[in-house]
Amino acid sequence: MWNREKSITLSKLCILIFLGLLLAVVVSAPWLTHWFVNFSQAGLQGDQSYFLATIYVGFIPAVYLLYSMLGLLRRIDAGRVFVAENVELLRRISWSCFLGAVIALVSVFYYFPWFFVAVAAAFMGLIVRVLKNVFAQAVELKNEADYTV
Amino acid sequence: MPIVVNLDVIMAKRKISSGELAEKIGISQANLSILKTGKAKAIRFSTMEAICKSLDCQPGDILEYQEPDEV
């Protein structure tokens, strides 16, 4: 039977898979970018180092984001949902998305499709930010309810 | 907060313990402690009614407004 614990376990598993994929991309980045630059018809010869720079710099907010999501799920699993720490984690996740968007936006100068990645990351950051505001309000309401006798 | 809870004063006057009062009004000792120590953010009318009934007092005997600099 499907339940809350299984759902959280699935979410954790998905994050670990993404973490694994991220590490695989970073480790194989030199070969991956080499292949992509040669495969692409967009005339990207000479841009491989830029691609590498984007991947390596983007790795930092991406891994931080995934780590924060794991922390969030760990707290939810422990029954601590509407707490100030989760609001802080959501804020950090949101800023990680925005940082990723900035990195992708800077990368537009050598490869335009990064623009779509930037828009997607910024939009995701915005969604998480709204979620953070909802959580902050929920924490206040919970505190008030907890201290109503 | 400028609202001061004088529950411990009334309890001392009535010579009633926390455990006894908590049992009489039907709340946990932990919640009564929150109320006594002034950490409570709100009090339900039903709780106030039970306290007043148990301690034979008025809400004004329990809650008092003080200017912030007096607190």
Per-residue pLDDT of chain A (149 residues; tens, 9 = 90+): 888 888 999 999 999 999 999 999 999 999 999 999 888 877 777 788 999 999 999 999 999 999 999 999 999 999 999 999 999 999 999 999 999 999 999 999 999 999 999 999 999 999 999 999 999 999 999 988 989 99
List all residues 6 or more positions away from B69 whose beta carbon is below 8 Å from its beta carbon.
none
Give the chain A residue nearest B26 (alpha carbons): A149
**Residue A3, pLDDT score:** 85
Q: Where are the alpha helices (DSSP H) in chain A?
A: 4-27, 29-39, 48-77, 84-106, 114-146
Q: Is B52 on the interface with A (CB under 8 A)?
A: no
pTM value? 0.78
Each residue of B21-32: pLDDT tens digit? 999 999 999 999
**How many domains does chain A contain in total?**
1
Please enumerate, as own/partner, the contacts of B8-15 that have beta carbons within 8 Å and a separation of 24 or more: B8/B36, B10/B55, B10/B57, B10/B61, B10/B62, B11/B36, B11/B55, B14/B55, B14/B56
- Determine the topology of domain B3-70 in CATH: 434 Repressor (Amino-terminal Domain) (1.10.260)
Domain ranges of chain B: 3-70
- Is A123 within 8 Å of B21 (Cβ atoms)? no
Distance from CA of B24 to the nearest CA of A (A): 14
Instruction: Write the ipTM.
Output: 0.76
- Is A131 within 8 Å of A90 (Cβ atoms)? yes
Set of chain B residues whose Cβ sits within 8 Å of the Cβ of A142: none
Q: Is B39 on the interface with A (CB under 8 A)?
A: yes
The residue segments making up the domain with residue A100 are 4-148
Partner residue facing B27 (CB), from A143, A147, A149: A149
CB pairs under 8 A between A and B: 23
CA A47/CA A108 separation, integer angstroms: 12
CA A81/CA A135 separation, integer angstroms: 9
- Is A149 within 8 Å of B44 (Cβ atoms)? yes
Q: Is A147 on the interface with B (CB under 8 A)?
A: yes
- What is residue B65's DSSP assignment? E
